């Protein structure tokens, strides 16, 4: 039996991060967590490309273009959608998740979903470096693991 668990090693890896500007108080924390974790795993600053987009809805396109650019071997998509009084939340969450999943499944590089979908701003902040950890940092480890798995399987 062969079993493989992807390494979490960023040495020599190039990572793209697409980050939504909307809810920047949260997304800046997610980005800081992702960058810090990538650095801890050995990714050099010059090998991290950050692309800022208006909101979560634009993340799938940014992730797709980063992945197809040939400049990165993995992508992290970061955003925060906080429930409001209208159904806008449901549409944005659904289409953002579907779009990022499509890019991850059909694109040339692994894509990690780091979009928080919460009922309150406090919940989002807690998941962006507060009591519940930092989803950006989690995505950094995840994208490296998926990249190494893909490399291993293609040998």
* pTM for this entry: 0.96
Is residue 88 part of the annotated active site? The answer reads yes
Tell whether 140 is in a known binding site. no
Strands of the chain (E only): list them.
Answer: 15-20, 48-53, 74-82, 111-118, 128-130, 133-134
CA distance 155 to 153: 6
Residue 2: pLDDT band with limits 50, 70, 90: confident
The CATH code belonging to domain 15-153 is 3.40.50.960
Indicate which residue of 11, 88, 106, 148 is catalytic. 88
Write down the domain spans for the chain.
15-153
pLDDT in tens, 86-140: 788 889 999 999 999 999 999 999 999 999 999 999 999 999 998 889 999 999 9
Tell whether 151 is in a known binding site. no
Tell whether 32 is in a known binding site. no
pLDDT at 131: 87
């Amino acid at each position: 039996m062969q079993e493989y668990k992807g390494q979490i090693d960023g040495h020599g890896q190039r990572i793209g991060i697409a980050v939504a500007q909307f809810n920047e108080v949260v997304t800046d924390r997610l980005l800081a967590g992702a960058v810090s974790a990538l650095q801890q795993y050995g990714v050099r600053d010059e090998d991290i490309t950050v692309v800022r987009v208006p909101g979560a809805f634009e993340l799938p396109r940014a992730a797709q273009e980063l992945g197809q650019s040939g400049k990165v071997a993995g992508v992290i998509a970061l955003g925060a959608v906080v429930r409001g009084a209208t159904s806008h939340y449901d549409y944005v969450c659904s289409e953002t998740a579907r779009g990022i999943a499509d890019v991850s499944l059909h694109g040339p590089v692994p894509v990690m979903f780091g979009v928080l979908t919460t009922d309150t701003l406090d919940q989002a902040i807690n998941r962006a470096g507060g009591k519940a950890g930092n989803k950006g940092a989690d995505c950094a480890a995840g994208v490296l693991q998926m990249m190494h798995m893909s490399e291993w399987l293609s040998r």
